[in-house]
Amino acid sequence: MKKKVLILTGDAGFGHRSASNAIADALAHNSEFEFETKIENLLDHSSVPAWLQNTQSDYDKIVKDMPKFYEFSYEYSDNPLPTQIASIGLSAILSRAYKQAIDSFQPDLVVNTYPIYHGPAQSWYFVNEETWKTEFFTKNKVNQVDLDLIRLGGKRSSSQEAELKKHIPFITVITDLVSVHMIWMSKMPDKYCVGTDEMKELVIDYGIQPEKISVTGIPVKPIFALENRTKRQLRIDMGWDPDKTAILAMGSKRVSNLMGYLRAINHSGFDLQLILVAGGDEALYKQFIAEDWHIPVKIENFANDIPSKLMACDMVISKAGGLITSESLAAGAPMLIVDVIPGQEEGNAIYVQTNQTGAVVNDPIMMLETIAHWLMDDAAELKRIAENVKRIGKPRSSLEVADVIASCLR
């Protein structure tokens, strides 16, 4: 019989959805169980008010146009009282959506990749398991040991059989590397999957038991671990020059002044090729097309083969999001970070710099200086950085999360 896994996600940016997709893909490769998965965004439920739903579509705009406001909101809310108030409110708003998701799919396990779902999940758990457990103990005059024996197949009456409810394991997957907002923290999940040892220590500091925490890496697509083509073959298959230094530039509606950096590279005289992905930003895509390029360039508005591109490139220009950072590290691609969300992504950028797996560049001149330094002396510095990337990258992250899921279902 298939094991049913409900994966909860959200669509503020691409990271949470991408992590959810990666977990679903990884479960298809797990040999221990056959899985049926469903990815659900509770914020899309009809009972959720429009203002809360719109926080997803407005996310990039707020971060890009009002960074100081976002930074203040993030830092202010990252405290016990605001977090508790937010959790209570979110529980009230989202409990109906959570209950419907559970009732309609009847999962054997729930995976959470979005920070605001602990409130409604904990409310459901209290009503459907903890409250029931207390009533069951009182009515049937049993204790926790008796209940465990019953669940293991001990003798029970038909009325007890009808009332006995199975615990649904709940796993939270944190989608940032080394910094975390307090709203992610709850003692309710059975397991936490985190990206780094540093994040594990931080989660422990919040009072979560160490044995509940697995360092898996932020989930990236299984192809990062399963791809057997060489970098050269990947380049040939995608129509790139297999011998020329390749820089992949990842745009989105949130990344500021990417064209300024690219124009500097275009006029630098460097012997390289650019691969440009606009990330669905139509205005940026039109700028890519309109530019008079003096170096070889490949342009796409949106790409479904980002893992292949990351594994084929020599370096990647991007923001410091948890997912793209994890994907770049998994692919062995040194990072040139040009955009960092205050608070939320600062830890990711620091992690990249501390481990010498890339650089944060603040202007086009700094970008050119960094690239020149990396490429001098037969790209000695770039090769050194690439080795560091391979050392800390986790291409098997989603497969590791799938193993944690399987362990909770045995």
pLDDT in tens, 256-311: 789 999 999 999 999 999 999 999 899 999 999 999 999 999 999 999 999 999 99
pTM metric for this prediction = 0.86
Q: Strand 297-300 vs strand 109-112: parallel, antiparallel, or unpaired?
A: unpaired
Q: If we measure between CA atoms, which residue out of 246, 227, 253 comes closest to residue 13? A: 253
Q: Are residues 402 and 365 in the same domain?
A: no
Q: What residues are paired with 318 via a beta bridge? A: 337
Q: Are residues 159 and 248 in the same domain?
A: no
118 confidence band (pLDDT: 50, 70, 90): very high
Which one is predicted more confidently, 315 or 139? 315
Q: Are residues 214 and 265 in the same domain?
A: no
Domain with 330 in it: what CATH number? 3.40.50.2000
Q: Are residues 263 and 176 in the same domain?
A: no
User: 52 CB contacts (<8 Å, ≥6 apart)?
Assistant: 43, 93
Cα gap 326→64, rounded to integer Å: 22
Cα gap 71→285, rounded to integer Å: 28
Cα gap 309→303, rounded to integer Å: 9
Domain span at residue 200 reads 3-220+396-409
Q: Strand 109-112 vs strand 213-215: parallel, antiparallel, or unpaired?
A: unpaired
Q: Mean pLDDT across the stretch 205-231?
A: 96
Q: Are residues 211 and 233 in the same domain?
A: no
Average pLDDT, the chain: 89
Amino acid at 204: I
Q: Are residues 268 and 165 in the same domain?
A: no
pLDDT reading at 15 higher than 90: no
Tokens matching residue 336 = 């040139």
105 confidence band (pLDDT: 50, 70, 90): very high
For the chain, the domain total comes to 2
> Is residue 344 within 8 Å of residue 74, measured between CB atoms?
yes
Q: Are residues 400 and 388 in the same domain?
A: no
Q: Are residues 262 and 235 in the same domain?
A: yes
Q: Are residues 99 and 184 in the same domain?
A: yes
Q: If we measure between CA atoms, which residue out of 221, 227, 277 comes closest to residue 247? A: 277
How far out from the chain centre does Cα 386 lie?
A: 22
Q: Strand 297-300 vs strand 272-277: parallel, antiparallel, or unpaired?
A: parallel
What one-character DSSP code corresponds to residue 36?
A: E
Q: Where are the alpha helices (DSSP H) in 141-290?
A: 144-151, 158-163, 197-205, 223-226, 231-238, 258-266, 282-290
Q: Mean pLDDT across the stretch 148-168?
A: 59
pLDDT in the model for residue 13: 73
CA distances for 333 relative to 104, 136, 144, angstroms: 42, 55, 51
Q: Are residues 213 and 247 in the same domain?
A: no
pLDDT reading at 373 higher than 70: yes
Q: Mean pLDDT across the stretch 222-231?
A: 97
Q: If we measure between CA atoms, which residue out of 212, 185, 217, 183 comes closest to residue 198? A: 217
Q: Are residues 270 and 174 in the same domain?
A: no
pLDDT reading at 254 higher than 80: no
Q: Are residues 45 and 163 in the same domain?
A: yes
163 confidence band (pLDDT: 50, 70, 90): low
